[in-house]
Amino acid sequence: MVPVTTGAAARRRVCAVWNWKAALVSATMRAPVFFTVNLPAGFDAAAAACLTEFLYRICSAGFYGALTTYFARRRAQRAATLQAIVVLPALAHSVEYVVHRVAGTPFIATAIGVSIVISMTTTRFSLAMMRRGLFVAGGQSLAADLRELVLLIVGAVRREHAHPGGVAARRSMSQVAEEFSSLEFRPPPSNFRLGSLRYSAGSRPHSKGTPADGRIPRWTVTRCSSSCVEIGRPSRRRRLAPGTDSRRVARPTC
């Protein structure tokens, strides 16, 4: 009996270990960097470095892209992001240095330094896009991924214009501290008196809205005269007529 989905199964196996979209995008982004950095050494040296980087990225970036897809599907997003940002660039650039060292690239350190900066910028972005289902091998076409990426960027720009505040209008902690320090705090008047604030945690106030264990009483502040303020506590003994306040203030001291 001939298997029906032999081609589809083979394609899924290849996509599981090699992401052709990541390979193509990475090679297209990094090869011009090596060409530009090595151009002072001559056109031939720059072209050789560009070709070396393109072939290396076509072969290796697909494997790294498959690993990035694996990290993007993990539930522990923080741990997966940390592993993808640290482990993958360290492995990729170590092999990259050896390849260009063997090929005789003139300006290896500068070119790989720029490549590391690109990796630090794009790895987290790739994780976010793959969690949305973009740039995943075996999914939709690369053109559809790019089209959805453009729509995401346009939507983010429109939201920023719709809400002019956005991130830029958020006050920093230093600004909040400066505003707070500029406030003027006046001391309370000399005739401000506090009543007895002792409260039994084991008792239950009869007033509605308090917790069952009665550990959080409702305090009230009332003004018994024009110049004296008194603080009272909930009443627990006397019954009040319907419609009256269930909180009783302490006896005025003025």
The phi and psi torsions of 233 (rounded to 5 degrees) equal -130, 165
Is the CB of residue 229 less than 8 Å from the CB of residue 193? yes
Domain segments of the chain as ranges: 7-162, 188-254
Tens digit of each residue's pLDDT (9 = 90 or more) over 8-65: 666 666 666 788 888 899 999 999 999 999 999 999 999 999 999 999 999 888 888 8
Residue 159 pLDDT: 76
Q: Is the dihedral of CA 42, 44, 45, 47 positive or negative?
A: positive
Is the pTM here over 0.75, yes or no? no
Residue 196: half-sphere exposure toward Cβ, Cα within 13 Å:
7
DSSP single-letter state for residue 134 = -
Share of the chain above pLDDT 90, in %: 21
The phi and psi torsions of 221 (rounded to 5 degrees) equal -115, 125
Model confidence at 84: pLDDT above 60: yes
Residue 172: half-sphere exposure toward Cβ, Cα within 13 Å:
4
In whole angstroms, how large is the CA radius of gyration of the chain? Answer: 34
